[in-house]
Structure 1
Amino acid sequence: MSSPFGKKWVLLVSGSKGWADYRHQADVCRAYQIMHRQGILDEQIVVMMYDDIADNPENNSPRIIKNEPLGGDVYEGVPKDYTKADVTSSNFPAVLSGNKSKLSTGNASSRKVIQSNSKDTIFVYMTNHGGSGLFSFPAAHDVLHSEDLVNTLTEMADMHKFVQLVIFVESCYSGSMLKNLPHNIPVYGITASPPDKSSYAAFHDRWRGTYLADVYSAIWMDFVERNELERTTFEELFKHLSFELWRQNLPRCQQYGNTGLSKLPLSSVLGTTSHERVVFARKELRLTHLTVSHEVRHKIYQGKIESEKQGAMKRDLETAYEEYKKKQRSMAKGVEIFKVHCSKGRCLVPKEQRELTSQSDFKRVTESFREIFWDLHDEMLELTLPVPQVLLEVMEFNVDVEHIIEGIALMRTVVDTFIPPARTRRRHIRRLRRELSMPVE
């Protein structure tokens, strides 16, 4: 669409797959509907999502995706620009920067990318799981590093690819993705949480057996839908987000980059106020079932077990839930022994504010973690997401990088001991504890 700044471009990214993470793709679908209603043309909106929810066997309402308990379908009309194996951490910067030669997909020359210039604006919205300095994509261990995201944005600014860019990130530890964003480029970001805090899910739908939305995303989308974009600034949106999260006693959202851009009206990037708004017919947003992200699967399992009436199906769910908790305990044990290995007898006390002393060293450590845990998938893979925060804490004590990598290998050994029978696992854990001079339980 035409504007004083040129075209308005939008990139919407859901980095997850699977029914348990329904909410991430639902968030992106709703964000698309909002941008489309606000006059941004489909040719200027790029959507990256795995697209396995609408036709999922667990979907009781096929081809329909909801993002609010009483909301309508948000799936209809959503472009399928990049789906399944094309939703990757390598394709994301290629799409954002408009570099088709870097796309790792078929028919790259004909694929939709952000083809912006110095007069255009860009809005980027990303939602999924995250770790410290990491944003996950659907394939196992496919992650975008904060360093690579910031470098891409900085390079695009240097190449005058936009007049201004606004980026929203919804994930645990999302502040760590943007905290090194320069202040002197026209990029402004708001994240769901600080660098060392989790984000939260909302609206546990027992009938669907999953969560419909993320808290931060539900708040910003509701705000955009209710307000006149020409008269409302990003600063007002940020204050509203901060207040609502504070009111719910949740970690506060953060802003990064060129915060001077927060004075801009929402319409400068997000389109114009839609005449199709149903704002006045809607009640005030009432968030329910607020759940920290790492507890979501627990709540889903518990809800399914409580709702299931058939004895055999209930027992199957209970068995699956016990297996999931066993996996969680195995990862916790591995992390515990890793900390002892790396501390060399010192007590690791987390700091309130953590700063990366070396981006390259941290990236090397997290890549080593990914290589050592390369074969974990689905639930077990999700349980590894908080580990980069632990790696970061250890690095603050100037532990040698090689020693940390040895500790990661030891962590994997501990996790693998949870595969044999319980008695064997206990013997193996005791032996490891003796070797590391830890108390034997």
Structure 2
Amino acid sequence: MEFSCKFLAIFLAITILTVTRTLGNSNVPQKFVDRIQKSNHTNNWAVLVDASRFWFNYRHVANVLSIYRSVKRLGIPDSQIILMLADDMACNPRNSRPAQVFNNANQHLNVYGDDVEVDYRGYDVTVENFVRLLTGRTVNGTARSKKLLTDAGSNVLIYLTGHGGDGFLKFQDSEEITSQELADAIEQMWEKKRYNELFFMVDTCQAASLYEKFTSPNILAVASSLVGEDSLSHHVDPSIGVYMIDRYTYYALEFLEKVQVNSQKTMGEFLKVCPKRVCISTVGVRKDLFNRDPDKVLITDFFGGVRPTKILSDPIDIEFTPEKTFEEVNINIPLEGAKPSYNFPSQFASELFD
């Protein structure tokens, strides 16, 4: 019996490996390939982190606020975005335009806006709070809005920007998170079923070193520079004397601004947004842990909050008319003369816990 079980396990492993390697083969039915490549996530979340303080790091705040604006525009609600800003540039006394943050010298768009919801601000942006957030181990009394309430059906975007080096990212210029700590936190997320797929995006010097230790499945990662390379800023605004945005994020946003909620643009296209001739640094990509072809993954699978919908062209009559019985309009009258009660699907599956 033990030999038979081992033989069966080996046979299944070989079968799965064969199917995986031949997905691109014309002999495999296209419907099967499409089903494998289709996302089965049910919700989208974003964790956006600026880890730098001080006025000369203005561009890092502009980076993260620009990504924040993009994911909100594409449908992820504030309730599913965790925004961490290590410094408040909008209220900095050096800011000649109070309550405003711009990502270009033309001052075309105030990315701080009127409805920015910052979840962690200033000295609350720490390595401990970031790791607690990812792993779901927030301290008692933490507001619900400050928790990453993901599940096994969640696609999660993690965007980090700041100052980094080989294997670390600085927080507040006083502490660091290492690539191993990041990998451990994401491994806990996977073990605790806190994500379906994860897109890790980081804009910092030697950014690719931060995803080298990842071993958890279903992770697609992109970094603004390889190990040994610096990530560069894009342009300066002479009126405030600081750089406005980093080069990689600038070109990523240029791409995202052309994306609409019904767009067919893919993650494969997004991974190519900043070639070395414009980025100067070499963009790093890691996709060996990801089980789908990025060229067939919609960008809204991570940057949007789009849900599958069914569009009906015919009008729906929801009014009660004498020609229809109570049963046809889903109304029950338990006793003669009693008011009808409407049956709605329960919001919570409480019957599962009886």
TM-score (norm 1): 0.57
Counterpart-to-counterpart distance in 1, 2:279 and 2:299: 26
Amino acid at match of 1:54: A
Larger radius of gyration: 2
In structure 2, the partner of 1:22 is 58
Amino acid at match of 1:210: V
Counterpart-to-counterpart distance in 2, 1:44 and 1:248: 33
* Paired residues for 1:89-128 under 5 Å: 89-101=127-139, 107-108=141-142, 110=144, 112-128=146-162
Q: 1:178 to 1:61 in 2, by over 3 A?
A: same
Counterpart-to-counterpart distance in 1, 2:257 and 2:180: 33
Q: Work out whether residues 134 and 145 of structure 1, in 8 Å CA contact, stay in contact via their aligned partners in 2.
A: yes
- Matched residue of 2:90: which SS? coil
Which of the pair is proportionally richer in strand?
2
In structure 2, the partner of 1:73 is 110
Counterpart-to-counterpart distance in 2, 1:82 and 1:248: 33
In structure 2, the partner of 1:253 is 283
* Paired residues for 1:172-191 under 5 Å: 172-182=205-215, 185-191=217-223
Counterpart-to-counterpart distance in 2, 1:272 and 1:148: 29
- Matched residue of 1:85: which SS? helix
In structure 2, the partner of 1:83 is 121
* Paired residues for 1:201-240 under 5 Å: 201-228=233-260, 230-240=263-273
Superposition RMSD in Å: 1.9
TM-score (norm 2): 0.70
- Matched residue of 1:46: which SS? strand
User: Cα distance, 1:119 vs. partner?
Assistant: 0.8
User: Cα distance, 1:240 vs. partner?
Assistant: 2.6
Counterpart-to-counterpart distance in 2, 1:171 and 1:35: 20
Counterpart-to-counterpart distance in 2, 1:220 and 1:93: 26
- Matched residue of 1:231: which SS? coil
The superposition leaves residues 325-347 of structure 1 with CA deviations (integer Å, 9 ceiling, x where unpaired) of: xxxxxxxxxxxxxxxxxxxxxxx
Match of 2:175 among 142, 156, 163: 142
Of 197-206 and 153-162, more deviation after overlay is shown by 153-162
Q: Work out whether residues 42 and 79 of structure 1, in 8 Å CA contact, stay in contact via their aligned partners in 2.
A: yes
- Matched residue of 1:144: which SS? strand
- Matched residue of 1:166: which SS? strand
Q: Work out whether residues 131 and 185 of structure 2, in 8 Å CA contact, stay in contact via their aligned partners in 1.
A: yes
In structure 1, the partner of 2:190 is 157
Q: Work out whether residues 218 and 290 of structure 2, in 8 Å CA contact, stay in contact via their aligned partners in 1.
A: no
Counterpart-to-counterpart distance in 2, 1:152 and 1:78: 27
Q: Work out whether residues 193 and 254 of structure 1, in 8 Å CA contact, stay in contact via their aligned partners in 2.
A: yes
The superposition leaves residues 386-437 of structure 1 with CA deviations (integer Å, 9 ceiling, x where unpaired) of: xxxxxxxxxxxxxxxxxxxxxxxxxxxxxxxxxxxxxxxxxxxxxxxxxxxx
User: Cα distance, 1:50 vs. partner?
Assistant: 2.2
User: Cα distance, 1:179 vs. partner?
Assistant: 1.6
Amino acid at match of 1:191: A
User: Cα distance, 1:24 vs. partner?
Assistant: 0.2
The size of the alignment, in residue pairs, is 262
Counterpart-to-counterpart distance in 1, 2:40 and 2:219: 18
Q: Work out whether residues 100 and 109 of structure 1, in 8 Å CA contact, stay in contact via their aligned partners in 2.
A: no
* Paired residues for 1:256-335 under 5 Å: 256-257=286-287, 258-261=289-292, 262-263=294-295, 264-271=297-304
Same amino acid, percent of matched pairs = 26
Amino acid at match of 1:235: G
Q: Work out whether residues 175 and 195 of structure 1, in 8 Å CA contact, stay in contact via their aligned partners in 2.
A: yes
Which of the pair is proportionally richer in helix?
1
- Matched residue of 1:153: which SS? helix
User: Cα distance, 1:99 vs. partner?
Assistant: 2.0
User: Cα distance, 1:200 vs. partner?
Assistant: 0.5
Q: Work out whether residues 97 and 115 of structure 1, in 8 Å CA contact, stay in contact via their aligned partners in 2.
A: no
The superposition leaves residues 348-399 of structure 1 with CA deviations (integer Å, 9 ceiling, x where unpaired) of: xxxxxxxxxxxxxxxxxxxxxxxxxxxxxxxxxxxxxxxxxxxxxxxxxxxx
Match of 1:61 among 97, 119, 126: 97
The structure showing larger relative contact order (alpha-carbon pairs under 8 Å, at least 6 residues apart) is 2
Counterpart-to-counterpart distance in 2, 1:225 and 1:111: 27
Structure 1: tracts of 5 or more residues without a match = 274-441
Q: Work out whether residues 151 and 195 of structure 2, in 8 Å CA contact, stay in contact via their aligned partners in 1.
A: yes
Counterpart-to-counterpart distance in 2, 1:227 and 1:4: 21
Q: Work out whether residues 11 and 46 of structure 1, in 8 Å CA contact, stay in contact via their aligned partners in 2.
A: yes
